[in-house]
Structures are given as C-alpha cells and as structure tokens.
Amino acid sequence: MTKRIIAIAFIFICASIAWAILGGTIFSRTYSLDSVAENRVASTWGSPQNQAPPSASFTRIVPKSEESIENGKKMIKTIPEPITTPLSLESSAIDVVLDLEHRQKGLLWYSTYKVAFLGLYGFRNPSDKEEAVDFVLKFPTAQAMYDDLTFTLDGTAVPITSRDGASMGRIKVGAGKAVQLAVGYRSQGLNEWRYSFGGQDVMQVRDFSLRMKTNFKDIDFPDNTLSPSHKLETDKGWDLTWSFKNLLSGYQIAMVMPEKLQPGPLAGRISLFAPVSLFFFFFIMLIITTMRRIELHPMNYFFLAAAFFSFHLLLAYLVDHVSIHVAFAISAAVSVFLVVSYLRLVVGLHFASREAALAQFIYLVMFSYAFFLKGFTGLAITTGSVVTLFVVMQVTGRIRWADKFALKPTAEPAGELT
C-alpha cells in the first residue's frame, strides 16, 4: 500500500508540473500579443475617448508702441498686436449614448463601443460691438472616425474646417449677444469614455447637464471621477444624469466599459488550479477503492490523470475558436467520457458510471466552473472542500485503517464490461 501511495504521489507531482507548463503557455499566448492585438483593435475601431467642451474667442488687432534705437537715435514705432479674448461658457446641455459591442482578438475580448454625442453650449459675446468669433471643437481622440458631424449656431449651419484634430468655424456675433452652439457626431471607441471640463486644473462649470444612456447594466466609474446626480435603470441599461448649477472641480465624468469574461486568463487560472481538483479526485478514489477492496494500479491512476489533463488541454486550444462556455462543455464531456469508458474496462460500468463519474463531475467540472463565478470562486471551492471533508469523515469514522492497510486488496468482481 505504501509503495502504491508513493507511486500515486509521483504521478500527481508530474501531472502538476504539466499543468504548470500548460498554464504558463496559456498566459504567454494571451499577453505576449496583447499590446499588438489592442493596437490592431484601436486602429480599426478606435481608441479611448476624452471629449472636452468647445471654445470660442475673437481676435482684435490693436496698435502697440515699441521703442528702438537706430543710428544712435531713439525711435518709437507703432506695430499691430493681436489680442485674443475668450467667450465664457455659460451653459452646457449634453446627450451621450453608449452602445457596447465587444470584439475578440486571440484569447482576449476588448470592450469596444459606439458613441453618439450631442452638445448644446451657450456663449455670450462680452464685447460692446459685433465680433467675428472663432468656435473650435477638439475631437476626443485622433485615432477614431467621426460621422454625421453637425456644427450649428442658433440653428444655422456654420461653415467649418478641420485640421490638427479639431473642427473650427467663424461667424459674427452681435455685441453682448448670447448664442447657442450645437455640436454632434457619431464615433467609436475602446475601453472607456470621458468628458473633461476643459483643463487639468480645477475648473468652474455653470449650468451644466450631461445625460448618458447605456445598453449595458454593469456600469463602473473610474477613480477620481464624478458620480451621477441621478440614476435610472432601464430594460437594456442605465439612464444617468450629471447636473450642476455652479461647480468647481478638477474631476472628470467617465464611464468604464464592462469587460466580457476573458477566455485566455480564465483557462490559464483553471489550468493552474487543476492539481487541487486532481488531488481531491485521487483522494476520493483511494478512499473508495480501499474501503471496497478494489484494486487500482498506479498505472490506472496515470491514465486518470491524463484524462483530467485532456480537459485543460482541450479548453486551452478551443477558447480562441468557440465561446468559453461551449469550449468548457466540450472539454468536460470529453474528459468524463475518457474516465468512464476507461474505468468501465478496469473495474466495471457500475463503479465507473456512478462513483467515479460523480467524483470527476464535482472535483473537475464543478470546481473548474467556480472560476466563472466572479467574486465567489474561493468561497465556492472552500465550501466544496469542507463538505467533502465532512462526508469522508462521517463515512470512514468507524473504519479500522490499520486493518484496511494490512489487508492486500483483492479485485472486486468486474460486473458489466459493456
């Protein structure tokens, strides 16, 4: 018995090394190409966006006196100097619609989204006369496309030019007149969307309102950003509103797109955890076969370990071709079939289809599936381990193990072999 346990322990150690190599390979495949894949996604879909409000200003040419010395004589020249005066932003009413559409590259899903942006901004000309005002809208990122761009002033389209990542339009505004600039577009981005108030320092924002609609429910606001003033859950997502009368803040408004279950990291974590599943399975098999005097040779345990390994090997190379759930189901079915069909020949169909299949389902399939339960993986596995310990202790509490280990196991009648 002692030699058999040592042989089984050696098989367990070798299998654990194989799983460590497989897990390392999966993580290498996942992250070695991550930056390349993300750049490819950004190049075809778009990068994270950070929208700032438009600016408005006018420029006057005023004379300026400048002293100079020519031929030893003091000369005073008058030269023109441009003076730029910004228009204050008096109000902002913004509507944003975020539609999440995940994209997969290799073993990772990327959180890509479509955004529809519409902003209505109020400006006032502080001058005592009519001025030619330049309105400038900087785009949230240069690595994106912008469709259906609108740029209107009090409902009238403004001729615009686009360069250096911005659209600019010039129109005359009367003395002291308040105007409404409407800007809008449709675009695409990656991972997160942000709205800043025009600078990195503390900014003053007056009469501000931003309404955001999402088609996803798992909303998340990054650190150092403003929480919405109101939240309303809808059938498809959330209706969020940020509303401020007179705000002083250096924070931004931001939304992080929810991540889809990542097949590469998940398969890697399941593979690295596999020795725990195999340990419980070997432990249960050793207890049952010892109690029932069923002989399982160490070579039998070797093939059982190989059948367990097939689950993780299949999962590792299926997840980048089919969904993670389909890959998990196929891999589990193949592994269980290998174990049951093998033990049917070694021991018998009754033991293979009941005790062995149930043990494999619990300690391989269910323990591995616990990694799908975000935030509850450790609790689920711990609960299963404690329940297993309780059941084994209750079942074996009256057994005289000295007698069991002293007896040489004799093969149980094979039973059905078909």
Tokens 């059982």: give the residue: 304
**Residue 68 or 235, more confident:** 235
364 and 388 fall within a common domain: yes
Supply the pLDDT for residue 306.
95
Indicate left, alpha or beta for 279 from its phi (over 0: left) and psi (-120 to 50: alpha): alpha
**Inter-CA distances, 48 with 109, 120, 137, 261, 278, Å:** 15, 23, 18, 20, 43
CATH no. for residue 241?
2.60.40
- How far apart CA 381 and CA 270 sit, in angstroms, is 12
23 and 140 fall within a common domain: no
pLDDT at 333 over 50: yes
Q: Is 75 helix (H, G, I), strand (E, B) or coil?
A: strand
63 and 199 fall within a common domain: yes
User: Which residue range is the domain that position 365 belongs to?
Assistant: 2-32+261-406
Any domain includes 190: yes
pLDDT at 32 over 70: yes
145 and 124 fall within a common domain: yes
Q: What is the pLDDT of residues 344-382, one digit of tens each?
A: 999 999 999 999 999 999 999 999 999 998 889 999 999
113 and 51 fall within a common domain: yes
Q: Which residues contact 316 (CB under 8 A, 6 or more apart)?
A: 22, 25, 26, 267, 271
Q: Provide the 8-state DSSP code for 101.
A: -
- How far apart CA 61 and CA 115 sit, in angstroms, is 41
Mean pLDDT value across residues 146-174: 88
88 and 122 fall within a common domain: yes
Total domains in the chain come to: 2
- Of the three residues 228, 256, 284, the one that is the final residue of a domain is 256
**Inter-CA distances, 322 with 30, 182, 206, 329, 352, Å:** 16, 45, 51, 11, 30
Neighbour tally for 16: CB within 10 Å: 17
271 and 400 fall within a common domain: yes
9 and 79 fall within a common domain: no
Supply the pLDDT for residue 37.
67
pTM of the model: 0.74
9 and 73 fall within a common domain: no
Indicate left, alpha or beta for 191 from its phi (over 0: left) and psi (-120 to 50: alpha): left
Any domain includes 415: no
Supply the pLDDT for residue 155.
87
Any domain includes 416: no
Average pLDDT across the chain, whole number? 87
Q: Which residues contact 195 (CB under 8 A, 6 or more apart)?
A: 50, 51, 52, 94, 96, 210, 252, 253, 254
Any domain includes 305: yes
Any domain includes 223: yes
Any domain includes 369: yes
317 and 177 fall within a common domain: no
Any domain includes 37: no
* Amino acid letter for position 21: I
Supply the pLDDT for residue 40.
74
Compute φ and ψ for 120, nearest 5 degrees. -120, 115
- How far apart CA 337 and CA 359 sit, in angstroms, is 13
67 and 91 fall within a common domain: yes
Q: What is the pLDDT of residues 106-127, one digit of tens each?
A: 788 889 999 999 999 999 999 8
- Of the three residues 204, 238, 256, the one that is the final residue of a domain is 256
Q: What is the pLDDT of residues 231-288, one digit of tens each?
A: 999 998 999 999 999 888 888 999 999 988 888 889 999 999 999 999 999 999 988 8
DSSP string, 8-63: HHHHHHHHHHHHHHHHHHHHHHHHTTHHHHHHHHHHHT---EEE---EEEEEEEEE
Q: Which residues contact 127 (CB under 8 A, 6 or more apart)?
A: 58, 85, 175, 176
Any domain includes 100: yes
- Of the three residues 226, 256, 286, the one that is the final residue of a domain is 256
229 and 337 fall within a common domain: no
